[in-house]
Chain A
């Protein structure tokens, strides 16, 4: 009899358990982000306070921003949009907008105005690079170096061209496994004037020139593809210097006490923000819009800077940036936008890379494989 009982029990559990799980998920609002420290800053600065005020909404996080474009395409194909709000970099937002996968927004209607009454459109200004894009932060791709691996009697690296100077600064370098940024830096250090870089990079000769410059350090480069790679390589002493997002370096230096220094020269600014997937049903759309209105207002964006060293996308938020929430250090000097850090900067050239990305990507990959 015992076996019969076990069998019956098992059958019941098998039928009942999934049914119990399949409760209605209508109250869940799925936010897609990058995970890690960045997602934590979003949680603490606006998702948690929002959830505290709106107990009927449960916020679920999905760390899929890296595959957002592919997954949104699949969801669209399957006619089953499960995401409510997606955090992507500006280039992806432009792509999703062009493909009709992201919803166009009206800044003045969908976003809160600044406390002094400035319209959202003016407050975000040039950062509204696409009709679908709601910017949150300005981040930069820049370099960190091991302070204890600087050769004796030599100044720490402070110039982007030090990356290409293997004689003064021997050791491995970590660079991102894609042409964007690397090509610009290579040309800049090969004697091309800063304002002519994209004119040169348009031409096949210019692309060859950039790759030839990268060739001089190729044997000493470790290529990374996830933002966490470079801090890991630096902490290991595997590389002397490497590029990554400035927030990652901030957390390695200030939160983890690693012997790493910042090299801000020729940092590349880029934007990160929300898009709302196209085709959401009315009720979910209304709920998301309510969240976005709250999460991108002046105070919330300034609050986010207390958890991570990325610059708020609103002009009106900048004066409100204060101290780090846990470490109590002033965040101002750690922002990529701080004047002393931003003496020599690039801004991600969306138009250029939209036109040339596939072509140059191909050449870059072929060069990598050589």
Chain B
């Protein structure tokens, strides 16, 4: 649709070249630092990309040949990939290709004034700048949050026993990678014991938390219950009180009554931690629950138990399940309380990871972390799907 672009706003070439030089300097800093000299990288990158900007402005000038654009955007990743390969092997080629793609896209995006497309035409340059700065800030925050988790994943395939990106790994050579840390996780009796403990403690704690939490939420949603707010605050307190304080308190209390160092003790402690999540999510779903339905059921002769299981439960089920999932994850990820309340025979996965990290920095921990992240993502996806389903059922969203 070249004709449309040609009629549109087009920034002056000086502006294009300066903006692109700034981006080039940024990329140059990245490459330069990796190669040993950041300043050289900044200057080199700025000059290179400024030159690209000049070529692009010449291309865009006058004629509407989108063929030129296509050629540049195909050639650039290729050229930079070859350059990157000469510098840093396979990994360099990938970085080069990505950079080529990025600069090919951004140079035409700026030179053709596409960045104004989709924005209100009366916006000043400052407003346009802020519009994009804002998005860059948001993406930076997102990247800042997710990078530590992403960095861990490739390291878990390390062939060495250290948290190190070895030269072989950076060159993407197969020798640098191995599944041995995953093998260690699945065959080492310590890890297997920890996995078994986690998988038996977490579901038991979840069932208790869901049972008690749901009942408490239903009870507390009745308007005639006295001291509702106080009771609610007490039940939710495990979520607010610093974990270490709950843990130390539980340790001394459970020791006195003989629950310290038993599975039952850990399950009860984790159930107490999970109950607030269930109460909160179930209370939230009960807000949308029409109490006249229970009265209708009673009117038709159903006793309260039948009413609960056949009328109320199906409607609040999404809240119950997402609360249960949160309770499950809480128990599954929890390390402080189990260190106090549990003994060595109730070692859970987080406990095993904690000692592993302190005594022996082994990438097996990273392999386990990757597995756990995958599980967490699955569980959160289920929560999100359930939430959508419940909204759909209650007619809150038009879909």
Please list the residues of chain A having a beta carbon within 8 angstroms of any beta carbon in chain B: 3-4, 7, 10-11, 13-14, 17-19, 21-22, 25, 28, 30, 32, 34-37, 39, 60-64, 66, 74-75, 77-80, 82, 226-229, 231-232, 235-236, 256, 258
Contacts and interface: CB of A to CB of B under 8 A. Distances in A.
Contacts of B25: none
Contact of B255 (A19, A78, A226): A78
Contacts of B208: 14
A7 B307 CA distance: 14
A75 to B, nearest CB: 8
Contact of A22 (B162, B255, B263, B313): B263
30 contacts: A10-B210, A11-B211, A13-B207, A14-B204, A14-B208, A17-B200, A18-B268, A21-B264, A22-B263, A30-B343, A30-B345, A34-B359, A36-B359, A37-B360, A61-B344, A66-B358, A78-B251, A78-B256, A79-B256, A80-B255, A80-B256, A226-B358, A228-B358, A231-B361, A232-B162, A232-B164, A235-B160, A236-B163, A236-B164, A256-B162
Interface string B110-127: 000000000000000000
Contact of A30 (B160, B267, B344): B344
B344 A60 contact: yes
A42 to B, nearest CB: 13
| Consensus secondary structure, chain A interface | helix
A64 B352 CA distance: 11
A18 B263 contact: yes
B250 to A, nearest CB: 11
Given A10-B210, A30-B344, A78-B252, 19 more contacts: A3-B310, A11-B211, A13-B207, A14-B204, A17-B203, A17-B267, A30-B345, A35-B356, A62-B347, A63-B359, A66-B359, A80-B255, A80-B260, A226-B358, A228-B358, A228-B360, A232-B162, A235-B164, A256-B162
A61 B162 CA distance: 24
Contacts of A80: 255-256, 260-261
B364 to A, nearest CB: 12
B314 interface: yes
A218 B368 CA distance: 36
Nearest to A34: B359
A361 to B, nearest CB: 21
Contacts of A227: 359
Contact of A78 (B190, B260, B262, B359): B260
Nearest to B339: A64
Interface of B: 160-164, 190, 200, 203-204, 207-208, 210-211, 251-252, 255-256, 260-264, 267-268, 305, 309-310, 313-314, 343-345, 347, 355-356, 358-361
A80 B255 CA distance: 6
A236 B166 CA distance: 8
Contact of B204 (A18, A35, A74, A228): A18
A3 B214 CA distance: 14
A35 B360 CA distance: 7
B274 to A, nearest CB: 12
A232 B261 contact: no
Contacts of B360: 35-37, 228
Contacts of B161: 256
B204 A232 contact: no
A236 B162 contact: yes
A183 B379 CA distance: 52
Contacts of B260: 78, 80, 82
Contacts of A39: 359
B343 A82 contact: yes
A3 B313 contact: yes
Contacts of B345: 25, 28, 30, 60
B251 A3 contact: no
B344 A62 contact: yes
B361 A7 contact: no
B211 to A, nearest CB: 6
Contacts of B264: 18-19, 21-22
Contact of B252 (A28, A32, A77): A77
Given A13-B204, A231-B162, A256-B160, A63 B355 contact: yes
B200 A21 contact: yes
A35 B160 contact: no
A3 B208 CA distance: 17
A39 B204 CA distance: 32
B255 A7 contact: no
Given A10-B207, A21-B264, A236-B164, A35 B252 contact: no
B7 to A, nearest CB: 56
Contacts of A231: 162, 361
A3 B164 contact: no
B245 to A, nearest CB: 14
A21 B343 CA distance: 13
Contacts of B355: 35, 63-64
Contacts of B310: 3
B314 A3 contact: yes
B313 A17 contact: no
Contact of B309 (A4, A34, A258): A4
A77 B163 CA distance: 39
